[in-house]
């Protein structure tokens, strides 16, 4: 009888521990959703400062009504090249890291109002270059995608202009700007592009935050560690983090939005600089149309990612580095793998 009571007690204790763990755990949440997303505590963006901003849209949705297909942001880095996040192309139904066909998407740019077609240009994706063949949805490692458009933006276009790439690591405490479309902190939809200022957080401080070992090489953090309040959020994925007028980061992931000790995480452009430049150079068609202007490269030494990815088109590339950060992830990675698909299913 005593043995049965002891077994019952142990079972009850295990259930209590499981419940407490489930309540306290907050899984990685990508900065993207089928809803338009939001910039927390931001302001209306200006055209002059955001001419590089593009919208990655679902072709089918946008075909019904212009602007409704918005999925992710991105940046024009040359007149026929765009940089965004790899996870924007992940199949959200099966959610095992499989990428969808590039032909399901279009690129739209040229207006702060995503429902206004004035001055906008729409492009198909000619080639899609990724660092991995299958995305790791539990770590968001190598969350970067390079897109070659099927045409060129005219050099003299009034509302579109490429942004320079940041080749050097951004100094700590540099105030940067993040932009995106969608819901504000009040919860209403914004038709217009929003912007928010966030300071660059040092790598050490980011790893000392509640994000801990989730921060892998090629990721940087930005935001207000102690107070939160200002951040990118769902729907802003792939969008630009601009520091000192250069593209320094790509909106990648976070845990909740604008919470203290949970800064936003961005793919670091300087880390992948060499891969970006080499991929573009290897795939230029030599036509010369607009290719000499707005190239976006910055001069100086840089710490590019020489070993990551071969830049094959349509999702091919080197194998997923699932072993990165292995020891530091421990049980957290396992829990993220189990809970993240369920979380995203609820958000959709």
- Residue 169: inside a domain, yes or no? no
Percent of the chain with pLDDT over 90: 53
> CB neighbours (10 Å) of residue 20?
10
Integer Rg of the chain from CA: 21
Q: Is residue 116 part of a domain?
A: yes
- Among the ranges given (40-49, 71-80, 102-111), the one the predictor scored with the smallest mean pLDDT: 40-49
Nearest of 196, 311, 319, 179 to residue 250 by alpha carbon = 179
Give the side-chain half-sphere CA count within 13 A for 81. 28
d(CA 82, CA 228): 30
Let me know if residue 275 belongs to a domain: no
Q: Which of 143, 236, 305, 308 is catalytic?
A: 143
* Average pLDDT estimate for 136-152: 97
Residue 71 counted as domain residue: yes
| Strand ranges (E), 59-216 | 70-78, 81-84, 105-109, 121-130, 145-149, 164-165, 175-183, 189-201
The pTM (predicted TM-score) of the whole model is: 0.73
Nearest-angstrom CA–CA distance, 113 and 62: 14
The total number of structural domains in the chain stands at: 1
Q: Does 15 score more than 60 pLDDT?
A: no
Catalytic pick from 234, 237, 252, 270? 237
User: Is 237 a known active-site residue?
Assistant: yes
- CATH for 140: 2.40.10.10
With H, G, I as helix, E, B as strand and everything else as coil, classify residue 141. coil
| Residue 96 within any structural domain of the chain | yes
143, part of any domain:
yes
The residue range of the domain holding 134 is 51-149
- pLDDT for 162 beyond 60: yes
CB 161 within 8 A of CB 119: no
Report residue 211's pLDDT band, with 50, 70 and 90 as the boundaries: confident
Catalytic residue, candidates 52, 87, 231, 252? 87
Whether 333 maps to a domain, the answer reads no
In a domain, 226, yes or no: no
What's the CA gap between 31 and 28, in Å, rounded?
Answer: 10
Q: Catalytic annotation on 87?
A: yes
Q: For the segment 266-308, what is each residue's pLDDT rounded down to a tens digit?
A: 999 999 999 999 999 999 875 545 433 333 333 333 334 444 4
Q: How far apart are CA 182 and CA 189, in angstroms?
A: 5
Six-digit token string for 154: 């005219």
143 is catalytic: yes
């Amino acid at each position: 009888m005593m043995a049965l009571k002891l077994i019952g007690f142990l079972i009850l204790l295990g259930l209590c521990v499981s419940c407490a763990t489930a309540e306290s755990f907050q899984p990685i949440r990508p900065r993207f959703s089928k809803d338009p997303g939001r910039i927390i505590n931001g302001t209306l963006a200006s055209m002059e400062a955001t001419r590089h901003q593009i919208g990655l849209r679902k072709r089918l949705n946008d075909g019904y009504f212009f602007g409704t297909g918005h999925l992710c942001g991105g940046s024009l880095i040359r007149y026929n090249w765009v940089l965004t996040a790899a996870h924007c192309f992940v199949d959200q139904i099966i959610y095992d890291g499989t990428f969808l066909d590039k032909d399901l998407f279009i690129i739209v740019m040229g207006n702060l109002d995503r429902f206004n077609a004035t001055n906008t240009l729409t492009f198909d994706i000619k080639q899609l270059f990724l660092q991995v063949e299958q995305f790791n949805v539990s770590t968001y490692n190598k969350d970067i995608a390079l897109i070659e458009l099927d045409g060129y933006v005219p050099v003299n276009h009034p509302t579109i202009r490429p942004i320079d790439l940041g080749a050097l690591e951004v100094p700590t405490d540099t105030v940067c700007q993040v932009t995106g479309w969608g819901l504000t902190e009040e919860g209403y939809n914004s038709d217009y592009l929003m912007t928010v200022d966030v300071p660059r957080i040092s790598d050490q401080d980011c790893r000392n935050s509640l994000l801990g070992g989730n921060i892998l090489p090629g990721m940087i953090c930005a935001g207000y560690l102690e107070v939160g309040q200002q951040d990118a959020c769902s729907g802003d994925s792939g969008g630009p983090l601009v520091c000192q007028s250069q593209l320094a980061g790509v909106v990648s992931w976070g845990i909740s939005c604008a919470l203290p000790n949970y800064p936003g995480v961005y793919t670091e452009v300087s880390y992948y600089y060499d891969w970006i430049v080499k991929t573009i150079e290897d795939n230029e068609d030599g036509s010369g149309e607009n290719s000499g202007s707005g190239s976006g490269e910055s001069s100086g030494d840089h710490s590019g990612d020489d070993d990551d990815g071969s830049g094959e088109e349509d999702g091919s590339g080197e194998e997923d580095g699932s072993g990165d950060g292995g020891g530091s992830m421990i049980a957290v990675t396992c829990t993220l793998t189990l809970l993240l698909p369920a979380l995203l299913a609820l958000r959709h």
